[in-house]
Structure 1
């Protein structure tokens, strides 16, 4: 192989990527184990068997095309959890190269099988991001082998698309990104605020302008610097990581920010990582066939990069899109438009036989999304609450409830235990309610004075019915 094919100074970057992505896989399979069956299982809101009846394998490759059962889903999730734990614990560091590669590829194939049948509940950009990064990391090799530099460069190319794609979406989208006012609203209207979001929203507006400028630099300038010589590439990687940490502090975005921070490690000089990580043995053991495989994979991914690169330059840029069903090279982006007001769907139930203005309605509480105005926003990321996120999207289009919503109401009317476990509080612990409805509210963060006077984090205004009062048919 030519000089420079191996990068001994990047062995710490490999360590960070392998351990970190193993942890992200662990989270993803834990989420699947806890949430997939009530959302997508045999008796879920969008049952996978119905989806598979109309989906072709070549369009959505998945082991579940052989057959789907909730037992098989549990087995897939448990195998994923077990393999993820071996990676997090560093067990593959001493394994032969073929076994290391196989471990990562099995993780990738199992999670691809879940994502490709997950429909709207798995339509988030960080699913493809985990799969793309999870495929790449398979070819880094165990700790005793030389670090293949092309794979690290491919990680930088992935980071470039994540950041630059998001930056272009913003520039081409909402004018508030250009006049620097988007963050006057975003901390309040983002999908799932966290414990610090209220304080971020209440920062002076000049600081919001600085936040937007920092975002523009991280997404439109720093991505190009990733490919410059050191120490410029390290500066770019650190700046991107810093902005992602800021997002971690201010909101709940599943494992998106964590993976982006991990990707930034591919640009950091080994000496920089050496200041925060313990020293280790740098190996230069070369496995010739592994180098050949890395070269072949690099050529494949460069060829597959044509469509995503072309999309970056397109006027009608696609956001979070995959151009082939294996999700090997994708395009990313978020928040091309920012909502100015926050809407929430609140589900209420009653046991009254007749509905009157005096009817007592009791509210269901979700784990992460806003409900009770006095409840402090919670920190969930990097864990992912899929139902809570979809409830945010549902509130954006009140005239058209999503197709999973009526089945969700029916599950609550039947007191379905698996569905209720997705929620924080069931106001009808003894037996299901007789009637359910969904109400649309406008939410806003309280002011400093309102917080002191009432203790509430939110102030809300009822706008009307989102879903009419509904009972089970006889």
Structure 2
């Protein structure tokens, strides 16, 4: 008698390929982002040096290989190793062996990235960091091509998408009034942290369209996630249709903004609800033997693999209690982890929408003392530092960066929303006065070509998208108005 015949989800072979390769591809992007940005932000001479954190903290928020000491060289080894492991899964190499091979490779990738996140402080404090960690752990349990996908892990991915989408929907309903009166997206495209090339066009769409956007968002996040758990009703692939709705709404967010890999990984995870037969109906190039559930030539999963996966599934089930309670709580937490391993987390974003966009603009001057007639400071003497992603030049079209994550640019958006004077920002200004080469490489434009400015200052501007008539008249994408001076001119001394 086959006691575990239910365990093998033979109709989800394609879903497994999409999940493992897709999550690994985004992990590869995350490791490359770390290699490019971690050292100037958090390295030995960074804005928030990890060695200082290790001296101060009696306990890190979770496990990390840097617990026993940090060096920039060690960071490079960890991130490069993680990138190589992730790339191997993208290529499908571990999946060719026994199921324990991709398990070990993806768990190692998870532990390496978890090590980085747990010392990343505010620069790694975003919800998609813990989402990537949880996804890596979960898809590691999907096994290899030698065994069918485990049903309990496919369901675990459905549960992850449910928490991701339904949690975000509940945060909005419980949050700002703009989500309930359907006006949120009349502001969001303009005020989101890092607009993309099409954000202005989306913002300029008529009000009725924005109301329809919000209504569609509520349906996609508050109703559709339940339907993932209903794979079929007769001949209708309900789960696949639910997945398609989630994917389409995420694709709209991808083309209208830059949210690192948040939307991209949601698209990948949502594919878990699409069975192979539906994939074959949509893409006939997929072999019919896979579409018929004939993948994984091994007849059934071996007992040892069933025991390993069921043990891990039981762990995920136990850890699900607090996130489940959080979903129905009036004090719902957003982007919270309830354990030190970042497994089975709570998700959600944009419970309220900012109505006005305030940008922090950093400028430098080569003059030691105020110049001009009568010693009056002239604006012509001051030159802006240009950032790669955040708005600055009013003529420039915002670039598409996601799924790559520009961490400095994102944190600049948060400055006017909370404490304007953060320790990392003070250190950032100091590094500009020192003309620190590593810090300057984080920027798109250094007005002093690597030379140190005499002084820097910080100003706040109100930015809004130019209307079509304003664009025709001035040829600018943004209109901006000076709000005031945040920090008066300061010199290194």
Spell out the pairing of 1:13-92 with structure 2 (5 A cutoff). Answer: 13-57=15-59, 59-92=61-94
Q: Deviation at 1:124?
A: 0.5
Q: Distance in 2 between matches of 1:124 and 1:265?
A: 23
Q: Which one of the candidate residues 271, 280, 284 is aligned to 1:265?
A: 271
CA offsets, 1:83-109, max 9 Å, x none? 111111111121222222110111000
Q: What is aligned with 2:373?
A: none
Q: Secondary structure at the match of 2:410?
A: helix
Q: What is aligned with 1:331?
A: 346
Q: Distance in 1 between matches of 2:197 and 2:264?
A: 18
More moved, 341-350 vs 53-62: 53-62
More moved, 200-209 vs 45-54: 45-54
TM-score by length of 2: 0.94
Q: Summarize the Cα distance change of 1:60–1:52 in structure 2 as closer, same or farther, 3 Å threshold.
A: farther
- Do the aligned residues in 1 keep the contact of 2:60 with 2:118 (CA within 8 Å)? no
Q: After TM superposition, what 4+ stretches of structure 1 lie above 3 angstroms from structure 2?
A: 56-59
Query: What number of residue pairs does the alignment pair up?
Result: 472
Q: Which one of the candidate residues 108, 111, 118 is aligned to 2:110?
A: 108
Q: Distance in 2 between matches of 1:105 and 1:121?
A: 23
Q: Deviation at 1:430?
A: 4.9
Q: Secondary structure at the match of 2:304?
A: helix
Spell out the pairing of 1:150-165 with structure 2 (5 A cutoff). Answer: 150-165=152-167
Q: What is aligned with 2:316?
A: 301
Spell out the pairing of 1:142-157 with structure 2 (5 A cutoff). Answer: 142-157=144-159
Q: Secondary structure at the match of 2:403?
A: coil
CA offsets, 1:7-32, max 9 Å, x none? 11100000000110110110000000
Q: What is aligned with 2:465?
A: 445
More moved, 284-293 vs 309-318: 284-293
Q: Distance in 1 between matches of 2:330 and 2:488?
A: 41
Q: Distance in 2 between matches of 1:232 and 1:191?
A: 35
Which consecutive residues of structure 2, in runs of 5 or more, have no partner in the other structure? 371-375
Structure 2 residue 408 is matched with structure 1 residue 409: no
- Do the aligned residues in 2 keep the contact of 1:8 with 1:284 (CA within 8 Å)? no
Q: Which one of the candidate residues 99, 124, 127 is aligned to 2:126?
A: 124
- Do the aligned residues in 2 keep the contact of 1:194 with 1:250 (CA within 8 Å)? yes
Q: What is aligned with 1:250?
A: 256
CA offsets, 1:22-59, max 9 Å, x none? 10110000000000000000110001011112334563
Q: Distance in 2 between matches of 1:221 and 1:265?
A: 17
Q: Summarize the Cα distance change of 1:3–1:430 in structure 2 as closer, same or farther, 3 Å threshold.
A: closer
Q: Deviation at 1:466?
A: 1.7
Structure 2 residue 278 is matched with structure 1 residue 278: no
Q: Distance in 2 between matches of 1:354 and 1:93?
A: 65
More moved, 367-376 vs 347-356: 347-356
Q: Summarize the Cα distance change of 1:430–1:321 in structure 2 as closer, same or farther, 3 Å threshold.
A: closer
More moved, 283-292 vs 370-379: 283-292
Q: What is aligned with 1:136?
A: 138
Q: What is aligned with 1:384?
A: 405
Which consecutive residues of structure 1, in runs of 5 or more, have no partner in the other structure? none
Q: Which one of the candidate residues 232, 239, 248 is aligned to 2:238?
A: 232
TM-score by length of 1: 0.98
Q: What is aligned with 1:425?
A: 445
Q: What is aligned with 1:212?
A: 214
- Do the aligned residues in 2 keep the contact of 1:218 with 1:239 (CA within 8 Å)? yes
Q: Deviation at 1:272?
A: 2.1
CA offsets, 1:161-198, max 9 Å, x none? 00000000000000010110000100000000000000
